[in-house]
Amino acid sequence: MIIKSINLTNFRNHDTYHLDCNDDTTLILGKNGCGKTSVLEAIYILTRGKSFRATDQDIIKRETEFYRVEIINNSGEKSTVTFDGKTKTFTIMDKKTRRLPKNHKYPVVLFLPSDLNLISGSPSRHREYFDRLFSQLDEKYSNYLSRYEKALRQRNEILKSDYVETSSLFSWNLLLAKYGTYIYQTRQQLVDRINSSLEKTYFSIAKKNDNLTLNYQTEISIKNEDSYLKNLESNLEKDLYLKHTSYGIHRDNFIFYFNDKPADGSASRGETRSIVLALKFIEAEIIKEKTGSKPLILLDDVFSELDESRRKALVQNFKHHQIIITSVENIDLTC
Strand ranges of the sheet holding 95-97, from the earlier edge strand across to the other edge: 14-20, 3-11, 67-73, 78-83, 88-92, 95-97
pLDDT in tens, 230-272: 999 999 999 999 999 999 999 999 999 999 999 999 999 999 9
pLDDT > 90? residue 56: yes
The DSSP code sequence of 29-78 is: E--TTSSHHHHHHHHHHHHHSS-SS--HHHHBPTT-S-EEEEEEETT--E
Nearest to 317 by CA among 292, 288, 284, 289: 284
Q: Compute the mean pLDDT over every residue in the chain, rounded to the nearest whole number.
A: 94
pLDDT at position 21 is 96
pLDDT in tens, 270-289: 999 999 999 999 999 999 99
Beta-carbon contacts of 307 under 8 Å, excluding residues fewer than 6 positions away, are 270
pLDDT at position 222 is 76
Mean pLDDT of 6-17: 97
pLDDT in tens, 314-324: 988 998 999 99
Contact 144, 300 (CB under 8 A): no
Mean pLDDT of 149-177: 96
* Backbone dihedral angles phi then psi of residue 166, each to the nearest 5 degrees: -60, -25
Beta-carbon contacts of 66 under 8 Å, excluding residues fewer than 6 positions away, are 9, 10, 60, 82, 83, 84, 85
Nearest to 211 by CA among 152, 164, 151, 258: 258
- Sign of the CA dihedral 303, 306, 308, 314? negative
Domains of the chain: 3-106+294-327 (3.40.50.300), 118-280 (1.20.1050.90)
The DSSP code sequence of 74-134 is: TT--EEEEEE-SS-EEEEETTEEESS--GGG---EEEE-GGGGGGGGS-HHHHHHHHHHHH
pLDDT > 80? residue 179: yes
Mean pLDDT of 118-127: 93
- Sign of the CA dihedral 105, 107, 111, 115? positive
Q: If you compute the radius of gyration of the chain from its CA atoms, what whole number of angstroms results?
A: 22
Instruction: Tell me what percent of the residues of the chain surpass a pLDDT of 70.
Output: 99
Stated as kind and residue range, the H or E segment containing 156 is helix 139-159
Contact 285, 274 (CB under 8 A): no
* Backbone dihedral angles phi then psi of residue 77, each to the nearest 5 degrees: -75, 130
- At 120, the amino acid letter reads S
pLDDT > 80? residue 332: no
Mean pLDDT of 167-189: 96
How far apart CA 108 and CA 111 sit, in angstroms, is: 10
Helix (H, G, I), strand (E, B) or coil at 322: coil
pLDDT in tens, 61-92: 999 999 999 999 999 999 999 999 999 999 99
| pLDDT band at residue 335 under the 50/70/90 scheme | low
pLDDT at position 194 is 97
Nearest to 200 by CA among 60, 317, 112: 317
pLDDT > 90? residue 139: no
Which pTM was predicted? 0.89
Mean pLDDT of 20-26: 95
Mean pLDDT of 40-69: 95
How far apart CA 251 and CA 149 sit, in angstroms, is: 12
pLDDT in tens, 289-316: 998 999 999 999 998 888 889 988 998 8
How far apart CA 184 and CA 180 sit, in angstroms, is: 6
Beta-carbon contacts of 124 under 8 Å, excluding residues fewer than 6 positions away, are none
Nearest to 45 by CA among 35, 36, 33, 53: 53
